[in-house]
Amino acid sequence: MTTRPFVLCALSLTLACAWMAYPAAHHSFAMYDAAKPVTLRGRVATFRWINPHSVFTITADDDGAVWAIELSSPSNMTRIGWSRTTLAVGDHVEVSVSPMRDGSKGAACRQLKFLDKNVMLECGSATAIHVGEKEN
């Protein structure tokens, strides 16, 4: 009896299991506290339109702290009206966020308002679903 069929079968199963585990490695928003939304006002310092999640930083008006705000992926953001030019350095914004559970200056975006334009945008992240509401 040859071991070749056994080795091929074992290799095929290993590859199949590895491929099935790949989607399960998607990023989570569990590090953010959706039950304690915070509103920040400040100026956009950076904006990176990148995968797997876009991110921008703001310098807060009240204390000068720099916050890193995570968004959804560029493809998801495009579906809700964003583009790589939606935010620009220097834009004055008010942003509703779900802050990091560990208290660091990071958060997931819920809504963003341009203070100079009086325009409001949804951010499209998983934490935009308010506690107690059901997703459509």
* pLDDT tens per residue, range 4-61: 665 554 544 444 444 444 344 445 668 899 999 999 999 999 999 999 999 999 999 9
- Using CA atoms, how far apart are residues 115 and 94, in angstroms rounded to an integer? 7
Tokens, residue 46: 């950076």
Q: For residue 39, which amino acid is it?
A: T
Strand partners, 108: 70, 98
Residue with tokens 């939606």: 86
When pLDDT is cut at 50, 70 and 90, the band that residue 1 belongs to is: low
Decide: helix, strand or coil at residue 25. Answer: helix
- Using CA atoms, how far apart are residues 134 and 136, in angstroms rounded to an integer? 6
pLDDT, one tens digit per residue, over 115-127 is 999 899 998 754 4
How many CA within 13 A on the CB side of residue 125?
A: 28
The whole-model pTM stands at 0.72
